[in-house]
Amino acid sequence: MATTDPNSKYSSPLVSRYASVEMSENFSNNTRFSTWRKLWLNLAIAEKQLGLTEITDEALAQLESNLCNIDYKVAAEEEKKRRHDVMAHVHAYGIVAPKAAGIIHLGATSCYVTDNADLIIYRNALDMVIKKLVFVIDELAKFCKVYRDLPTLGFTHFQPAQLTTVGKRASLWLQELLMDLRNIERARDDLKFRGVKGTTGTQASFMQLFHGDHDKVEQLDELVSKLSGFNESYPVTGQTYTRKIDIDILCPLASFGATAHKIATDIRLLAHLKEIEEPFESDQIGSSAMAYKRNPMRSERVCSLSRHLMTLVSNTMQTASTQWLERTLDDSANRRITMPEAFLTADIVLTTMQNIFQGLVVYPQVISRHINQELPFMATENIIMAMVEAGKSRQDVHEEIRVLSHQAAHVVKHEGKENDLIERIKNNAFFEPVLGSLDVLLNPSTFIGRAPEQVDSFLTKHVDVALAKYSEILKSKSDAEISV
């Protein structure tokens, strides 16, 4: 039985649950088909300007006044009859702009509107992604600055290693996000227009329209490109722009997905250690059964969606590799799904990451406790050097510390007690020459090297420079909220 209940039909969670209204609208039918109409208007304007007298001012006025006046019912009925979406919308446009009905799509192939509209929509989407990525970078940079010198236990292989700082670790995340910004900016700036190239890219139809005048056909391509907001078009195309362009767009988005997944995974690991925690609202429920749970659901969502984002680029590669000669149509259905989903996914990942960073909680006392559990072992080299400076043999000192270290390790591993290596050293007369300086030798701030200075330099020389051109955009930044 037919029903009008929206809950009775599948709806992509990317739209219904996750992505922003702004990004969803960018890939909506209203945006797509009004863009088609703008492209038909631009083509007519340019053709009239270059001498096609059959295009009247009245026709142009009707086209312009009906850019968004789309009768989807008429278009759907026509597409069902003709099995051709572009011609269905040519027909629907002609009904509301009757003075222009005969010149809509003049000389063009379907890809004039479909491909050029896609490029416009993708460029707008890249602008949205860049804006949100800038917000994320700005939030994380603030976090790095605040915690630039807070010592924390470093991990290699997820095993305790030398100390770093909370801010320095976060700067590793930040550096990857800067790389993503560079890559996405490059993809955005590299985008050109398909322009007016005709059915197989030869511009033959336009040569006929302008009676063999090569200059006018070139001018037409340039003029339509400029009217549509592009400084240049791709110099050669088949029926479509090369689908390698889609790879160039999705590769940096997928690469960002890898960055986001790594960052969110790190936060999940640190949440397990109770050193760092993503925002957790007062009424939030971590588990339906275990009331005490504080699950890192935001970071888990970032990982989940990032995996999806990373897989989509393989579709663009397979599609580009199977485009026979001037084109085949087996790209169409795939691209309708892959390209919007990539942007919708990147959009919600970025919103979620900004939400995490603007409320990330650090627990210094937990971090300090973890340091103190491992620092005695790490401090042994400092103690050895201090003892040698006091006149002891390095080999003798090494052997004494080796014995005491194994005893302390046994207590930790077999008895479940705290690391008591320092107490053993204090109670051993052999180490009397350095007992007065143990507090200095065990100060965590002496184990972090240049981590704070590295953070300062990185923020000043790289992050601030990258964000400088986005100063106006940053003024519009507000807190990122996630609804579910």
Q: Could you give the residue numbers annotated as active site?
A: 157, 287
Q: DSSP characters for 435-474? A: GGGHHHHT-GGGGSTTHHHHHHHHIIIIIHHHHHTTHHHH
- Alpha-carbon distance of 239 to 115, in angstroms, equals 9
Q: Is the dihedral of CA 8, 308, 185, 197 positive or negative?
A: negative
**Residue 309 corresponds to which tokens in the numbers above?**
């984002």
**Beta-ladder partners of 233:** 193
Expressed in percent and rounded to 5, the helix, strand and coil fractions of the chain are: 70, 5, 30
Task: Quickly tell me which residue has 């997944």 as its tokens.
Answer: 261
**Residue 461 corresponds to which tokens in the numbers above?**
């020389």
The phi and psi torsions of 178 (rounded to 5 degrees) equal: -65, -40
Q: DSSP characters for 130-186? A: HHHHHHHHHHHHHHHHHTTT-EEEEEETTEEEEEEEHHHHHHHHHHHHHHHHHHHHH
Amino acid in position 360: L
**Beta-ladder partners of 152:** 164
Residues 6 or more apart whose CB falls under 8 angstroms from that of 98 comprise 62
The phi and psi torsions of 337 (rounded to 5 degrees) equal: -95, -50
- Alpha-carbon distance of 9 to 174, in angstroms, equals 41
Cβ atoms of 419 and 377 within 8 Å: the answer is yes
- Please work out, in degrees rounded to the nearest 5, the angle formed at the alpha carbon of residue 241 by the alpha carbons of 240 and 243: 100
- Alpha-carbon distance of 32 to 26, in angstroms, equals 8
Q: Which residues in 395-406 are b (16+ Cβ under 10 Å) and which e?
A: eebeebbeebbe
Q: Residue 365 half-sphere exposure, CB side, CA atoms within 13 Å?
A: 0
Nearest residue to 477 via CA among 391, 377, 357, 361: 357
- Alpha-carbon 433 to chain mean position: 56
Q: In three state form, how does the secondary structure of 273-320 look?
A: CCCEECCCCCCCCCCCCCCCCCCCHHHHHHHHHHHHHHHHHHHHHHHH
Residue 368 burial class via C-beta count within 10 angstroms: exposed 0-12, middle 13-18, buried 19 and up: middle
Q: Give the single-character DSSP code of 193.
A: B
